[in-house]
């Protein structure tokens, strides 16, 4: 039976500490480093990562790097060839299948244009580092310096279930594509500590499990930057709130994708009328992706939007140490103090143009 608790577990609220300790772990790697990232930027953070990966390869460590074809587009164009020449194994998940991507023109014999075109809306949104097969780093931070100024949360865990993440990485690495053919081989169990969504079957099981936990919860605290959920999730939230469950939703006041906020605001009225409390974080961009339900919590890469529910690759990790659960609760409470609570009367003050654009973009919600 799989373990029910991590042997080691550390939360990272501070971005500088997170990157410093993550890069130190890469420097200390003895056998293998795996990077799976939505965004690697050609900036200070991205370059610090690449320097350490190249150094690790030079001392004989096996290095694998899987980056998303859209999120890391600029890095692919500018840095891909140089990193490969240094011996790092690099692949691109769903490169853009048109001349905008010079990478595709140089590699098109390895890819099917039609396959990539059909999968253009399916992205690898995971932000994962694996060290020597026993240490997993995951959370909401991409490898870009913009995250030094955002409100994020990451976690580092150690334990036997880290191998589940490594196996998932290797399946995706081999496929370069969402490996739907694995749907009969990969099964979901409710007590798993690594929540992986790489097949349709797993996505349905994860949503069913999450809805079940909310339906039976007394307190549900959610922090998420992109809230455009599927209908069943909204229905579950409203049903649970009407039964007396305390549901607190924390969203960013300032979003890096404004149209997402405009769509999210369309959900406010039914949520508020059901008794759910909504807060907008004021100081900076809120990008953490956490869910706390009573004594159970997860930290990871999943947004609560159609993309994460239906098409993007994501991973979340269950928090098993009581002390870390209390830290998450304390930080959530602090964030509420720096937030503005949204009330029904506030909705009447929203600009007409914003509501109109929200309704227009709503029809394209599967792309946000």
| pTM strictly above 0.85 | yes
Domain coordinates of the chain in residue numbers?
Answer: 8-175, 198-367
* The two structure tokens encoding residue 110: 């390895």
- Architecture of the domain delimited by 198-367: 2-Layer Sandwich (3.30)
Domains 8-175 and 198-367 share a fold: yes
Q: What is the CATH number of domain 8-175?
A: 3.30.870.10
pLDDT at 179: 45
CA–CA separation, 108 and 124 (whole Å): 19
Pairing of strands 62-68, 32-37: parallel
What is the rounded CA–CA span in Å between residue 83 and residue 103? 14
**Structure confidence at residue 174 (pLDDT):** 87
Tokens of 132: 């020597």
Residue ranges, the chain, pLDDT below 50: 1, 99-100, 105-106, 109, 178-184
Q: Are 154 and 133 in contact (CB under 8 A)?
A: no
Bridge pairing between strands 227-228 and 304-305 = parallel
């Amino acid at each position: 039976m799989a373990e029910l608790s991590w042997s080691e577990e550390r939360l990272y609220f501070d971005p500088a500490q997170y990157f410093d300790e993550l890069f130190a772990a890469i420097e200390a790697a003895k056998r293998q480093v795996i990077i799976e990232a939505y965004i690697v930027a050609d900036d200070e953070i991205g370059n610090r990562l690449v320097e350490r990966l190249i150094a690790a390869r030079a001392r004989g460590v096996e290095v694998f790097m899987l980056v998303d074809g859209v999120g890391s587009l600029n890095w692919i164009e500018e840095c891909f060839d140089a990193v490969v020449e240094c011996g790092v194994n690099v692949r691109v998940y769903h490169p853009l299948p048109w001349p905008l991507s010079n990478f595709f023109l140089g590699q098109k014999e390895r890819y099917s244009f039609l396959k990539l075109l059909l999968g253009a809306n399916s992205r690898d949104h995971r932000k994962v580092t694996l060290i020597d097969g026993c240490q997993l780093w995951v959370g909401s931070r991409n490898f870009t310096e913009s995250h030094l100024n955002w409100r994020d949360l990451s976690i580092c865990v150690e334990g036997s279930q880290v191998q589940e993440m490594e196996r998932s990485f290797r399946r995706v690495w081999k496929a370069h594509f969402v490996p739907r053919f694995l749907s009969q081989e990969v099964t979901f169990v409710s007590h798993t500590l690594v929540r992986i969504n790489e097949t349709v079957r797993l996505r349905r099981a994860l949503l069913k499990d999450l809805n079940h936990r909310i339906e039976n919860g007394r307190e549900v605290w959610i922090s998420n930057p992109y809230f455009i959920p599927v209908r069943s999730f909204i229905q579950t939230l409203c049903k649970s709130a009407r039964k007396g469950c305390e549901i607190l939703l924390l969203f960013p006041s300032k979003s890096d994708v404004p149209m997402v906020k405009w769509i999210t605001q369309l959900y406010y009225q039914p949520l508020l009328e059901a008794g759910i409390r909504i807060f907008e974080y004021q100081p900076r961009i809120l990008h953490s992706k956490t869910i706390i339900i009573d004594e159970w919590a997860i930290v990871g890469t999943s947004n609560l939007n159609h993309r994460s529910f239906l098409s993007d690759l994501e991973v979340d990790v269950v928090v098993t140490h009581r002390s870390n659960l209390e830290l998450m609760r304390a930080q959530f409470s602090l964030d509420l103090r720096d937030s503005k609570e949204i009330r029904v009367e506030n909705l009447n003050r929203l600009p007409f143009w914003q509501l109109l654009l929200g309704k227009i973009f709503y029809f394209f919600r599967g792309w946000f």
